[in-house]
Amino acid sequence: MTRLSVNVDHVATLRQARRATVPDPVEFALESERAGAAGITVHLRADRRHIQDDDLKRLRRAIGTQLNLEVSLAAPMLAVAERSGADSFCLVPEHRQEITTEGGLDVCAERLRIARAVRRLQKLGATVTLFVDPDLDQIQAAADAGAHCVEIHTGPWANSRASTRERARILRAAQRAHELGLEVHAGHGLDYANVHPIASVPHVEELAIGHSIVARAVLLGFDRAVAEMVSVLRNP
């Protein structure tokens, strides 16, 4: 079964809307684990719009599964990442004005900078993933940069309402990544209705899903929302 890493950023988004103490992403991370998540993902943004530094510390202490931290390449963010104790890091591009991550890293254009960041984080014994578009040159550059894993950006596929052409790009990218010895993850824009065609792409081992689970949790509760996604992944 494809592993599920639940992104709890938007639990913090709701809390930060009031600068309150609830809802607490740590509580929901624990709930996700009980409901079958294999890991927890958070994106610590430079503007701290959702997850805060203290959340990261508390998550590290509280959760028993894999803690995956998404961060940009900015020097202060890499410094926070180094101190975080996360099990894995996913390097992502970040622009202050964006509503969510808009595209993959341009590894081809920033080879040296990215390779340096990968080495720096790997020294901690952590797994380093590069978030990339399903583009064969980017996949090759990710392997050249020494990454252990790529997360293939599924946002354009989700926005295209699951076009066959976009899925074919993801299939080719996953295949090439696997041939290059990279572990393959995927994420962005995945929901209960569209997740299966991505979970069934050969070599995709893990999905990072946030918004759709938090949105469903508002209706059903977090435990059921996560359990339903786990069940979709188990029984496509």
Interacting residue ranges for ligand PXP, rule: CB under 6 A: 7, 9, 43, 70, 90, 92, 100-101, 131, 151, 187-190, 208-212
**Nearest-approach distance from CB 70 to ligand PXP, in angstroms:** 5
95 included as an active-site residue: no
Q: Which of 10, 43, 153, 203 is catalytic?
A: 43
43 included as an active-site residue: yes
**Nearest-approach distance from CB 216 to ligand PXP, in angstroms:** 11
**Three-class secondary structure assignment of 184-233:** EEEECCCCCCCHHHHHCCCCEEEEEECHHHHHHHHHHCHHHHHHHHHHHH
What 3-state DSSP class applies to 3?
strand
188 included as an active-site residue: yes
Element (H, E) at 83: helix 75-84
What 3-state DSSP class applies to 85?
coil
State the pairing for strand pair 204-209/127-132.
unpaired
Closer CB to ligand PXP, residue 33 or residue 155?
A: 155
Under 8 Å between Cβ of 59 and 93: no
Long-range contacts of 58-62, Cβ-Cβ distance < 8 Å, separation of 24 or more:
58/26, 59/25, 59/26, 59/29, 60/84, 60/85, 60/86, 62/26, 62/29, 62/30
Closer CB to ligand PXP, residue 36 or residue 189?
A: 189
Closer CB to ligand PXP, residue 100 or residue 160?
A: 100
**Nearest-approach distance from CB 197 to ligand PXP, in angstroms:** 15
Closer CB to ligand PXP, residue 90 or residue 230?
A: 90
Closer CB to ligand PXP, residue 30 or residue 187?
A: 187
**Nearest-approach distance from CB 106 to ligand PXP, in angstroms:** 14
**Three-class secondary structure assignment of 99-167:** CCCCCCCCCCCCHHHHHHHHHHHHCCCCEEEEEECCCHHHHHHHHHCCCCEEEEECHHHHHCCCCHHHH
**Nearest-approach distance from CB 104 to ligand PXP, in angstroms:** 8
Q: Which of 31, 33, 50, 70 is catalytic?
A: 70
Q: Which of 10, 153, 188, 203 is catalytic?
A: 188
List the catalytic residues: 43, 70, 188
